[in-house]
Amino acid sequence: MKQLWAFTVDGVPGQNVIVEVDEPVAGGEELAARVGKVAVAERGLEESLAQVRPAVDCLMRMLSGLAVCPDEASIQFGIKLSGTVGAVIASAGVEANFTITLGWQTRTASAHGPVTSEGIS
């Protein structure tokens, strides 16, 4: 069932982002405090999105450590928001609230100095 959730924005008092989220609703149970027809998310937007960062950081470290690195790489993934658990990486092919594409090109040591993990942009 689609539901509207209000996510607070860190550093901007009184500012909320309203997000349509597909969430199961338990029989008669309230998932969050109600404000009109919009539920208030248990976590703010920044805190919710921060939950997926460790997975992205891990993926970047693993790819940058390949024995043979490609000249160019791109990663695409979706993030689904939940009013109760925050943010999760979406299953492939599933509707996501955010679709993120990260891309980078390797730099050659001769043209730009040594290649390091900090050189990935």
At 60-110, the pLDDT tens digits run 888 888 888 788 878 888 999 988 888 988 887 778 888 888 887 776 654
pLDDT band at 51 (very low <50, low <70, confident <90, very high): very high
Domain with 18, as residue range(s), is: 2-119
- Do 29 and 47 form a contact (C-beta atoms < 8 A)? no
Identity of the residue numbered 64: S
Q: pTM surpassing 0.75?
A: no
Asked if residue 75 lies in contact with residue 59, where contact means CB atoms within 8 angstroms, the answer is yes
Report strand pairing: 72-82 vs 38-40.
unpaired
Domain count, the chain: 1
Q: Strands 98-105, 72-82: parallel, antiparallel or unpaired by DSSP?
A: antiparallel
Residue 87 to residue 53: CA distance in whole angstroms? 10
